[in-house]
Amino acid sequence: MPAGNILKASLHASDAGDAGDTGVDTGINSGASPAALERAAQVKLMIFDVDGVLTDGGLYYGDQGEMFKRFNVLDGAGIKLLQKFGVETAIITARQSEIVNQRAAGLGITHVHQGAHDKRVVFEQLAAKLSLTAAQCGFIGDDLIDLPILIRVGFAAGVANCHPEVRQRVHYVTRHGGGHGAVRELCDLILHAQGHYETALSSYLT
């Protein structure tokens, strides 16, 4: 995706400034069916996988065996915008990493579930805790382990480079790859579907 297709004001390292200092995908309706937009309009809880969704799926190791993950500030901006307009956010991932805890804390994501090898159980417990139906929940994933949630939520999404079996079962596939703006694209779409996109944008144009 050419950089020119993403409208940007300025870019700061802190996600506290992301929502105000980075722009929004100008092609938010591209590829989204009316049915997908209708489903997105019902989302009160958006859940994110980590590896391959919030990151590019790569695992980077230092000389001492320390592990690093690469996150995208545009994604962080989108998550903060969802929160601003009343959408709960959560992480459900099979891996366990302190890096994820730090990233979630920086984004204000309070529902963080790591080491979730049975994602269905974790999802059902989280939805019950928040008194939400599956139809009010959304999830974005990339691989087979995400299917138990994807086939249950009201709004299921996959990243551009997701597994073919995931692609066949979701309501929306992003044009951006995991770790490269896929989450921001999805967040913008939800904001648009719920009628908040123009409000979010206008606050940065005055």
Taking only the tens place, the pLDDT of each residue in 75-112 is 999 999 999 999 999 999 999 999 999 999 999 999 99
The values of phi and psi at residue 139, to 5°, are -150, 140
Q: What are phi and psi of 156, to 5 degrees?
A: -110, 135
Model confidence pLDDT, tens digit, residues 158-200 = 999 999 999 999 999 999 999 999 999 999 999 999 999 999 9
pLDDT digits (tens, 9 = 90+) for 115-137: 999 999 999 999 999 999 999 99
Phi, psi angles (nearest 5°) of residue 55: -120, 175
Distance CA 206, CA 199 (A): 11
CB 147 within 8 A of CB 164: no
How many other C-beta atoms lie within 10 A of the C-beta of residue 68?
12
pLDDT at 29: 60
